[in-house]
Amino acid sequence: MFRNLIPLLADRYRVIAPDYPGFGQSDAPDHTRFDYSFAHLADIVDQLTDRLGAKRYSMYVMDYGAPVGYRLAIKHPERVETLIVQNGNAYVEGLGAFWDPIKAYWAEDTPARREALAGLVTLETTKFQYTDGMGDVARISPDNWVIDQALLDRPGNKDIQLDLFHDYGSNVPLYPQFQAFFRERKPPTLIVWGKNDKIFPEAGAHPYLRDLPEAEMHILDTGHFALEDRLSEMAPLIRSFLDRNLCR
């Protein structure tokens, strides 16, 4: 999703966009030998930023990247210069009906409830994530879901994703700590949110203003992967926000 945004920022900013283990071009060790948890993902990204010498950074958090990023933030609050939030949740209001079967899996980790989520890693759902609620579906390249699904269909990857669905529940008890970070550190924040997203709906965007009343919010007519059809609107907002808050 970030492939077209990165070059629009990279002339002035150092842009770091890692794939998590099990995603993209990163290694995908077997889930029986590797801990696919949000705590572990946050530790890995933390180690990466250390190796790259990124002692201070702005964070673009979206979907799974929100709890990973916020775990980093409560570990190193002094390092976070600004936040860009796009369909990334930190409030219970943002866990709508889509999450009901996943919550059932959190409550009772049984083979049946685990397997009930297997449909979430099929081509139908992958395409849905890219097309549902988009303001202009004609802008969405089919390469997106074809490439994503090829990676999801790698041997063992379904179990990786199901492990992470279960562990997402470990983030919810941390929401008060995330919110305390917002209130106490008050990082300059830009919220750009696809209002038609059924996974992380608009209801999860507005609570941020309780803790970050100075945040700049833009609710856009798009869906989950908002940059796919709203790059032309979002990139200037992001560039302006960073320039105003970092280039002083």
* Spatial contact of 185 and 159, defined as CB atoms under 8 Å apart: no
Q: Is 31 a catalytic residue?
A: no
Residue 133's contacts (CB-CB under 8 Å, 6 or more residues apart) are 194, 195, 196, 197, 198, 222, 223, 224
* Cα 113 to Cα 107, 110, 135, 200, distances in angstroms: 10, 5, 34, 21
**Long-range CB pairs of 183-188, under 8 A, 24+ apart, other chains included:** 183/211, 183/212, 184/77, 185/73, 185/77, 185/80, 186/212, 186/214, 187/80, 187/81, 187/82, 187/83, 187/212, 188/81, 188/82, 188/83, 188/214, 188/241, 188/245
| Catalytic residue of the set 31, 76, 206, 224 | 224
| Half-sphere exposure (Cβ direction) of 78: Cα atoms closer than 13 Å | 1
Active site (catalytic) residues: 224
